[in-house]
Amino acid sequence: MEKISFGRTKKGEEATLYVLENKNHTTVKVTDYGATLVAFVFTDKNGKRRDVVLGYDDVTGYEEHGSYFGATVGRNGNRIANSQMVINGKVWKIEANEKGNNLHSGKNGFNSRMWKVAKSSDTSITFSHYSPQEEQGFPGNMDVEVTYTITENDTVEISYQAKADADTVMNFTNHTYFNLGGQDSGVITGQKLQILADAFTPVKDSTCIPTGEIVPVEGTPMDFRTMKPIGQDIDADFEQLKFTGGYDHNYVLSDKTGEMRVMANAYCEETGIAMEASTDCCGVQLYAGNFIGAQKGKNGVTYGDRNGFCLESQFYPNAVNQENFPSPVVKAGELYTSKTTYRLYLK
Ligand code: BGC
């Protein structure tokens, strides 16, 4: 496997970019900083190589920006209301880093850690991290591994496994921003998306904390059961979309975890690149990149709002505090596993 220097962190740690490639020359690049997916390169219908994910040229970009491009997010992806939770009768307080709530586990999230390489081959790499109880404020010391694999059919598989010595939250996600037109092609609003979910979890207000309800998408702009352009209804006069400035909602894939299923399909007509995304998680956050802002990305490209869309497989937001949502708490000593895949093909 090719290894490329990816610069030094502010603390002076050396970051490395690892290149995974299959026989079709579909390439996945990942770095040990944040166990982050940096590039996913595929040949489009005109024979042009397209990198379909947003990112930065070196580790400094990842340290300096707060968009979570390609990051491994944990221990808890998405939000925890009031930055606290009760586990086995004890209150645990974590960092309030967004409007009094916790987003993506705060500034000591997995996305900002240097991970170790536990195993690697030409097509697969496993990163490991030891997360002590004090690191983010969640109970228990945790060992966690994330494995990226590029398969022969151009799928990037992301598998997680973790174990802790106390009952604790395990809700890992990958925060890749996809742009099937290529990372330098501007807004994704014309790209088509299907999400195989009949319901979503509405939010209370602009804090993006769920009300706790599970509401059918039918008859609303939230309905992606039939493929449609992401931008078709994104600015509709619909309270849920006004709260969040465009799609930033959890879709209900199932009421349980552990069964692999297709969660979404996406397509870009200009490049012919299509994507099928699958997961064994019960929910997926559709985030339409509403607040990327103007920033310098890979190869000098300037990104802006809605230049990428995320399909973050997850437990529903604030699930640890919401009794009617599937629970993200895993028992001490129990092995937690989960898997999410993104397959590219030409259509
Ligand atoms: C959240 C968005 C947030 C983005 C970047 C997504 O998972 O739902 O609200 O802006 O991550 O932090």
What is the residue-level pLDDT of the chain in tens, covering all 347 positions? 999 999 999 999 999 999 999 999 999 999 999 999 999 999 999 999 999 999 999 999 999 999 999 999 999 999 999 999 999 999 999 999 999 999 999 999 999 999 999 999 999 999 999 999 989 999 999 999 999 999 999 999 999 999 999 999 999 999 999 999 999 999 999 999 999 999 999 999 999 999 999 999 999 999 999 999 999 999 999 999 999 999 999 999 999 999 999 999 999 999 999 999 999 999 999 999 999 999 999 999 999 999 999 999 999 999 999 999 999 999 999 999 999 999 999 99
**Interval between CA 25 and ligand 1 midpoint (Å):** 31
Residue identified by tokens 């990942």 is 30
* Substitution candidate for ligand 1 out of 69, 102, 248, 315 with most atoms within 8 A of CB: 248
Count CA atoms closer than 13 A to 336's CA, side-chain side: 26
Which residues are identified as catalytic? Answer: 175, 312
Ligand 1 atom index nearest CA of 78: 7
Give pLDDT, residue 13: 98
Q: Does the C-beta of 285 come closer than 6 Å to ligand 1?
A: yes
Q: Does the C-beta of 243 come closer than 6 Å to ligand 1?
A: no
**Interval between CA 66 and ligand 1 midpoint (Å):** 9
Give pLDDT, residue 52: 99
Q: Does the C-beta of 316 come closer than 6 Å to ligand 1?
A: no
pLDDT per position as a tens digit, 120-171: 999 999 999 999 998 999 999 999 999 999 999 999 999 999 999 999 999 9
Distance between CA atoms of residues 16 and 6, nearest Å: 5
**Interval between CA 287 and ligand 1 midpoint (Å):** 7
What total number of domains does the chain contain? 1
- What CATH number should be reported for the domain holding residue 152? 2.70.98.10
278 strand-pairing partners: 262, 341
Distance between CA atoms of residues 68 and 285, nearest Å: 14
**Interval between CA 153 and ligand 1 midpoint (Å):** 30
How many CB atoms lie under 10 A from the CB of residue 135?
18
CB 177 within 8 A of CB 310: yes
Beta strand pairing call for 49-51 and 72-73: unpaired
Q: What separation in angstroms does the CA of 166 have from each of 142, 186, 314?
A: 9, 45, 21
Distance between CA atoms of residues 173 and 259, nearest Å: 16
Which strands form 273-279's sheet, in the order they lie side by side? 116-120, 124-131, 142-150, 155-164, 336-346, 273-279, 261-267, 192-195, 228-229
Can you count the helices (H) and strands (E) in the chain?
Answer: 2, 29
The residue contributing the CA closest to ligand 1 atom 8 is 248
Angle at 220 between CA 313 and CA 328, to 5 degrees: 25
pTM metric for this prediction: 0.98
Find the domain containing 83 and state its range: 2-346
Burial of 300 from C-beta contacts in 10 A (0-12 / 13-18 / 19+): exposed
Give pLDDT, residue 1: 92
How many CB atoms lie under 10 A from the CB of residue 101?
21
